[in-house]
Structure 1
Amino acid sequence: MSKPREEKYQAILDAATEAFAEYGYFSCQVSKIAKLAGVADGTIYLYFKNKEDILVSLFTDRMGQFTEEIRKEIAQCQTTKERLLRIARTHITYMQKNRSLAMVTQIEIRQSDPQIREAISGPLREYFQLIELVLAEGVAKGEMVLSDFKVGRQMFFGTLDAVMSDWVLSKKPRSLNGVENIIFDLMNGAFKIKD
């Protein structure tokens, strides 16, 4: 994609994030996205087939950026403890900085039809695999005890997911700074993580 075309594509995704968060996916009209993006309604269809395609593209793009950011962060870590703390911190910080995106991922995508859920499953699976890899490496290095990586990932991600859902649905969102330490303490007890 040329730079101006890529910029417009990203502007539409940014607008869609805000529009879906404000109006809800089902109530949001493509014209609202176009208005927020500062483009004509028809321009949207030069980039996306329909509203479903916008939602899937939004999730795929943003989740890809999110997972890549986590990869970079954990590459700097030496121990499993550091990696899990960094994943939790990056997850929470990223969503706090992108509240509209958090609303879309925690509320709107979960209400979508099975076809949309299937279309967005790839980027989510990639994130799950990254967490499972960190857990498997931790066991292989003797830094933790865990007999089932999938269950471990479900516990870890499920805890992060529940914290973010509560934060998004709260009438008065609070700061989540430091929450990763509480999450880690829970995982530490469950996984017997060594320093």
Structure 2
Amino acid sequence: MILDSAFYLFSTKGFYETKISEIAEHAGIAKGTVYLYFSSKEELFKEITRRNFNVFLIELTDELSKTDSFENKLNIIAKHHLTYFYSMRNHTRIFFQGLNNDPEFMQLMFEHIENYVNLVSEILDVESIIEAKLHAKAFIGILENYKMDILFSKDFTMEDLSQRVSFAVKLFMNGYNNKE
């Protein structure tokens, strides 16, 4: 309840604008109860981030296990990545208020990115793609750019998302082709 309430308030009001007392009230608990579990608002933010990262990778891994096709795996990665941010498009503040001066938070971010790149890289390794890690970073980079379309365009649709998934996979698999 605490994590869900904090996520909602951080992502709608903003991290700095949200008070622990507001999180407690939203969760229906006493303010002191929040401090039983989290020593500070920053610790709470880090735990929300950790939870979201874990869920993202667990769900992606689960989806990837359902197919052996390389192209299907790329489609799953792209769709999962972009659908995650599409589902969060009304909570964009949470993505831009990280604790950039906190070494522990930055380490958490680095570890998530590394885990995500490694997961994609393993799929590319199976296909004997040379420099799989660099290719994984490039593929994720394409998706990260499309993420910004989702987060900043109020009229972004699921059709737009599907178009970008398809384009990213085709670009990655076939390279640039000006004839299509």
- Normalised by the shorter chain, which TM-score bucket? 0.7 to 0.9
Runs of 4+ in structure 1 displaced over 4 angstroms?
100-103
- Any conservation in 1 of the 2:57–2:116 contact (CA below 8 Å)? yes
Q: Distance in 2 between matches of 1:181 and 1:47?
A: 43
Q: Distance in 2 between matches of 1:188 and 1:88?
A: 13
Q: Show the counterpart of 2:120.
A: 131
2:91 corresponds to 1:108: no
- Any conservation in 1 of the 2:12–2:91 contact (CA below 8 Å)? no
> What aligned pairs does 1:36-185 form with structure 2 within 5 A after superposition?
36-99=26-89, 103-104=93-94, 106-109=95-98, 112-115=100-103, 116-139=105-128, 146-175=129-158, 176-178=160-162, 179-185=164-170
- Any conservation in 2 of the 1:18–1:100 contact (CA below 8 Å)? no
TM-score, normalised by the number of residues in structure 2: 0.84
Gapped regions of structure 2 (runs ≥ 5): none
Instruction: Percent identity, please.
Output: 24
Gapped regions of structure 1 (runs ≥ 5): 1-10, 140-145
Taking a change above 3 Å as real, the CA distance of residues 120 and 30 of structure 1, as seen in their structure-2 partners, is farther
Taking a change above 3 Å as real, the CA distance of residues 39 and 52 of structure 1, as seen in their structure-2 partners, is same
- Any conservation in 2 of the 1:96–1:102 contact (CA below 8 Å)? no
C-alpha root-mean-square deviation of aligned residues, in Å? Answer: 2.2
Q: Distance in 2 between matches of 1:154 and 1:108?
A: 23
Secondary structure, aligned partner of 2:17: coil
Q: Alpha-carbon deviation of 1:60?
A: 0.9
Q: Distance in 2 between matches of 1:31 and 1:22?
A: 16
Question: Partner amino acid for 1:180?
Answer: V
Secondary structure, aligned partner of 2:67: coil
TM-score, normalised by the number of residues in structure 1: 0.78
- 1:104-131, CA deviations, whole angstroms, 9 ceiling, x for partnerless residues? 2x3223x632412113432332222101
Q: Distance in 1 between matches of 2:33 and 2:10?
A: 18
- Any conservation in 2 of the 1:67–1:127 contact (CA below 8 Å)? yes
- Any conservation in 2 of the 1:73–1:86 contact (CA below 8 Å)? yes
